[in-house]
Structure formats: structure tokens, C-alpha cells
Structure 1
């Protein structure tokens, strides 16, 4: 097992510079409950036996604490099937809960459930369970825990978790849950407009033990995120799907410079403002795409594919993928991957204004580079802008505008002459499916 490590990437939104800390190491979890000694991986582990897609299953070195590699290593919560999310609302003597604890709960649910159901095509049955329906009062004032932006797990969060466990006992049996959500009363700490404290400790081998199991996958949510209109009621809940993304093993896609590498094309990049979805790569990593919905463009020559919108749960049935691993029973392709080497490759997917992607203002083929050897918060994914320096097409608040028109349309091409790779968007049919060709000269 790797030792616990800490990173401090900065997330820059339109209204604030914020920090999210993710402690991600291999530990026990992921069997449906927090079972001691269990070592299972999240996402499509069985894909390791799918030879056609094997060359596209890039992976990172062991010193990358939270990699984009497939399959996701052990220690994280399961991301398919029924996942039980213990959700507790906590307050403090110096920050007593305002309103009812269930009001705080309903800021996030059922919207978080609905978001995951749409994004996973129903493959993740996310169940937020709150056996304690009142504010769980901590024995110490909020200020005594020393919680601030970038705060390490020790000593403040360790004490915080220990106090949560003690306060929840004997009502809560921690063995019955896959992950922990702590919804802190919004008046504890600064406003999210000033500093975002929300944080996740994922795969934490040093977590306190409760009922014989480690509390190793825990997300903490503070304050409220403004959706850009002066209200948090519509999209402010999305901080929780972002944080839970870490629990499922996904890295941060924003960097110290903000969301300029990926923009609003993944909630792990920007969870402020209008709704947005996961990238297709993340959906494959999480086990939400079948092997037959993924194409691995690894052979020399030109191959044509038909891509259906990533947001649609059901394929239109009007097209089929001609590439390896596509069109074998689960409908049209959702993701084409073009491997460069065992660590890196290009991903192609069709993004439209459907499902969770309400802010898409230019539909088309999104092309991005995935690098499994780059750590969380350091830019493991880069979206390529088909219309550079255009200023974008969105006017949605808190959305990275320049990349909003990044997708490639019919007649547009992407070229990497150094690697001998060319992608051309050749057409779109009446159902809205796009045809693309991938050419490899080496």
C-alpha cells in the first residue's frame, strides 16, 4: 500500500479561488459495504480480459495517487449497482444549524440521485441514507478543528471524523454504508464565494475505524455554491457529485490556472454554474459504458465510426461502429479512444444539449487527450478547442466560455502529425448521430 499523501491544487471559478484536497491511496472498501480487508477496484475491472480494448486501457505509474487509468485501483467506493451513501448533517456550538437538518439534506437530494442516475444511464443506484434526521452536534466548536482551505487530514479532520462517529453511535451502523457524506451547516466557515472548503478523503488508509470498518471514503460539504444568479437552489448541489466523483476514484481536472484545460465538459473540472456531465472516458472508467459502446482505434489505416450522443441512455439504432469493440450488442458507440502509448491517448465523443449537459451551446465531437501518468489537479485531461480564441458561445455564468464551442463539427478535422493521427467529422444523420473517421499512419 502507498503512504498517505496530500496535494493542494487550486480551483478557480468565476467568483472565487478555491481549494479541494483529495487524499487518495489504496485501502479497504468497495464491496457494497465498508467490509474490513476487502480489496476491489471501482469501475470496469472485467475489461482487463477484453483483448480488443486492452490497448486502450491506459494506466499510470504507482506514484500517481489518483490516475485517469483504467481500471481504477482498489480502495474506492463501487460506482455501479446499489451504493449506500450515509449522509449526516452536522453543526457546532459556535455555528448552530440554521433551519432544520432535513432542509440542508434536501439542498442535495433528490437532485444528486437524479444526476447520477442520468449520467450512469441507471447503472448507479445511488441511495442517500440519513438515519439521523436532526443536526448532529459536534462536541467542540468549529474553530477548534482548524479546518481551512487545504487542511490536512491530521489532526483536525481525524478528530472531526472521530467526533462524528461518536455522536452517531449507536444510531448508525457504519458497516451498512459504502461512503460518507458530511453536510456541514452552511454558517460554519467562510462563504463559498470567498473560499470553498469542500473536500474529499478517498481511499484513506489512515481513517478512523467505526463498527470495525474504516471511514475511508468521506466527502465534506461546506457553505453553499452560488449558481451565478444569486441562488444555490438550482445547481448548487453539484458540489456533492463532484466530491463523490473522488470517492469513485476520479481526479480533479481543474488546475492552478482554473478550468482552462477542460472547461465545463466535466463536473470534475467545473461544478459551478449550469449543469454538466462526466466525460465519456470517466463513464467508461466508472463502468457505465459497455465494451460494445467503446471503440479502440489502434490499427493503421482509416476506420469510420458512428457516435451517438453521450447523454442518451438508449442508442438511436440508426448507426453502427465499424471499429474494434463497437456495435456488438449495446448500441451505437459512445466513446472512441485513440491510444498513443500505454499512458496516453485521444478520446472522441459526441456532446449535445441533452441529459445533464444543459449548457452545451455547440454540439459536436469533443476531442481530448487523457494522460494517465499525470496526477489529480495537474492536468490529466486536455480538451482541444476547434475554434480557438473565439470567446466561446455560452453566456452561462461560471462556465469557462472559451472552451464552450470546443467540439468539432461536420467538415472539421483534428490533426496530430507528430503521432500520425487524424480525426475528421464527416457527417451527421437525421437522428443526430455523427460519423467520424480516424486515420493512423503509424
Structure 2
């Protein structure tokens, strides 16, 4: 496939004059200009190492052997970088048996600028997510949707490989794929079943064996199909959140939901629940992505008791997480969650305690939130929020205890946005 020359709009080869001007106007809103070079994929996506704060290295768990997508650090080479400017190519596609409903730009507007704003807020401005859509109309695939046999299956199975190959063929005359860090395929919502029946949205990430376009594998590509609309009337404000979830995978984050839904983490991370009202990422994920500095993490690895002060996760700056290692690949993370930023649905602010497992794969429960008030029914009735875990945080005067490992986390106080905790290790 031939490469284009240098263009003011990243990756744009040749389109009609009006389309080119429209694309440039959109790009001008999202980037400072210039011509990006091909993305460099020779470094891990998140922090490559955790030197700096004394002892914090003891809290870094290594990626599990044979794990497809691990909570360990550093994130392996091959995923998109998660700090600095990241260029996202957006292509809207339809099919002969499912022509695009309305304008392709309307489909794009379901996700932007909300997705860029979500990442900016969650990363404290460290991820500058730049969406580009040089082709402003529906890209028609040559086969009927049903002929591709798309299911939510293994990465780049024959059905998806055929779809991606066709998408590359159709788009390649106008797009230089090497100019982008990740790709979003926004499928017309009338292709395939409703998300209430089957969620087809999927991401292929860190996959060096992906189809190649313009000399680079499309190793970090997210597909979004139908709308996650349950009829509660919230879709216009919250429907975009499927894309930050899927893009979380291109940065190396695993699924936290299990076969039981969001039962192990609930609404405390968008990699667990991406339906309904807004929510953020866990502090562990923000550290893994390089959005929290080592100086904002404390490591409770020594025996005895120590007191730590933590500030709410949504606020920039301050200490954000205390980690208590148990084994080489697991431990407890402790953080403060309160309503603010992306944490719209927090109904019971307090100290969240959860166990992280580096040796458990995506979708199999790598993170488990400790519920401070089991079988309470929770404190929220917001749509699509796992109610039972909504009041999971511990309050002043309450203690989490793991007798098996000899660990206690006592919440001493919570005043003026700062919480003091005492960690005791036998």
C-alpha cells in the first residue's frame, strides 16, 4: 500500500476539497497542528519502571506469565502509549444491508468531544487524546454485514480479519494509517443486534499479528457497534462511555467485569461498568498508565503499623494510593473515592479497598473490591450502577481485616477531603 506525502491533517491523502476543508476544521479543534510522524511503539504504554520514592518498587507486581492482559507493570510493548498526545483515527463504516443511519458525523458526535474530555479529566491532563476523522462520510464495506459473520470472538479471527482487510482496502487511498496511534471503527448502529441482546463492541490490542496497513499493524483497534441504550433516557449523556472503556484496552487495561457482570468491582472503574452514569478508573490503573507519579504512591510492605494520608482520587495532586503487597503478583490497594471529576455516581465517599491480582487474566476477576457493608443493597438507584458495591468504601471508625494474611486497614479520620488510615501487618 502506498504512503502519502506530508499533509497538514495527519494521515489524510486525498479527498474532495470540501471534505478536506471540513476535516481540517475538525482537526484544528483538536490539535495544535503540524504533521505527526509515525507512532513509535518501542516503549511500554505506562511507566516503564517505578524508581523514585523509596520502597515503592516493592509494590510493583510483574505481569503474569501467559496472561493475555495483566494488571502487572510495566504494560508490555505493543499497546498504545497512555501519556502525551495520542492520535486516534475514527472511521465510520456501514454495509449494503445496513446503510448508515443519518450522517456519519452524527455517529462521530456520539463520542466526541466527550471521550477526549473524559481522558483529560481522568489523566489530570497527562493524556491529550486527539480524535481525527479525515473521511467525513460513511465508508461502505463491500459485503453485507451478515456475510462477515461477526461475533464477539477471538482477536482477529477470520471474520474480523476479512472485515479489517476490506476496511483497509476501502480507506487506504485516502488514509495513511501509520500517522495514528490507535483506530476506532464506529459501526452504523443498525448493523447487528441491539446491545441489550448482544454487546459486539470489542477491542484488539497489543496484537502484532494484526492486519497491516501502510507498514504498521492495526494492533490497537476498537470496534463500537450498537448503542448502549436501556431506555432510561440517559444515553445522550452517557452512551459515549463504551469508547473510553474499549480504548482502555488499547492502553493495556483488562476487563474487570466477570461472567456475573460488574459483581467484583461494580461502578468503581470504567473497565468494569461502562453503561450508565459516569465513573473513573481505579488508582492502580492510573498508576499503571502513568497518570499518577511514584511520589503519589506509598508502599506498606513492612511489618507493624503505619499511618498514611490520602486525598480523593478525582483531585489532582496529593497522595492517592497505599499498596499492601501480599505475594509477588497480588496485594491490596487503598484509595479515597468521592464525588467529583469523572466520579459522578459516588453516593458514599470513603476509603476503597480492593485486591489486585497480576496473575488473573482479563474478564476473570483480576480486581476484587472489598465491600464494607455486605448485603446492604447499596446507596444508589442510578441506572446501570451495580448497587450492592456502591457503598463499599470504609468510613472513619471502620476497619478492613484480612486475618489470613494478617492485614488490617483502619480508617482513622476523614476531614476536609483528606483521609488518614492505619495499615497494620502482622
Instruction: Provide TM-score, normalisation by structure 1.
Output: 0.86
Structure richer in helix, relative to its length: 2
Q: Are 1:134 and 2:119 counterparts?
A: no
Offset of 1:150 from its aligned partner?
A: 2.7
Q: 1:219 aligns with which of 212, 222, 231?
A: 222
Q: 1:434 aligns with which of 419, 422, 426?
A: 419
- 1:68-116 superposed Cα distances (whole Å, 9 cap, x missing partner): 0011111100000000001100011110001100000000000000100
SS of aligned partner of 2:423: strand
Structure 1 equivalent of residue 30 of structure 2:
none
How many aligned positions are there?
Answer: 391
Q: Are 1:64 and 2:67 counterparts?
A: yes
Offset of 1:62 from its aligned partner?
A: 2.1
Q: Are 1:175 and 2:161 counterparts?
A: no
Aligned 8 A contact 2:256 2:367 in 1: yes
Distance 1:48 1:405, change over 3 A: same
- Mapped to 1, the partners of 2:299 and 2:154 lie a distance apart of 41
- Mapped to 2, the partners of 1:275 and 1:436 lie a distance apart of 27
SS of aligned partner of 1:233: helix
Aligned 8 A contact 1:410 1:426 in 2: yes
Offset of 1:51 from its aligned partner?
A: 5.4
Aligned 8 A contact 2:53 2:295 in 1: no
Structure 2 equivalent of residue 400 of structure 1:
386
- Mapped to 1, the partners of 2:255 and 2:365 lie a distance apart of 8
Correspondence list, 1:255-404, <5 A: 255-313=258-316, 315=317, 332-404=318-390
Structure 2 equivalent of residue 116 of structure 1:
119
- 1:19-75 superposed Cα distances (whole Å, 9 cap, x missing partner): xxxxxxxxxxxx98445xx43211111325765211100123321110000111111
Offset of 1:231 from its aligned partner?
A: 4.5
Q: 2:82 aligns with which of 79, 84, 90?
A: 79
Which ranges of structure 2 fall in alignment gaps of 5 or more residues? Answer: 1-35
Q: 2:101 aligns with which of 98, 102, 112?
A: 98
- Mapped to 1, the partners of 2:127 and 2:178 lie a distance apart of 20
Which ranges of structure 1 fall in alignment gaps of 5 or more residues? Answer: 1-30, 316-331
Worse-matched range after superposition: 140-149 or 243-252: 140-149
Structure 2 equivalent of residue 6 of structure 1:
none
Offset of 1:301 from its aligned partner?
A: 1.4
CA RMSD of aligned residues (A): 1.5
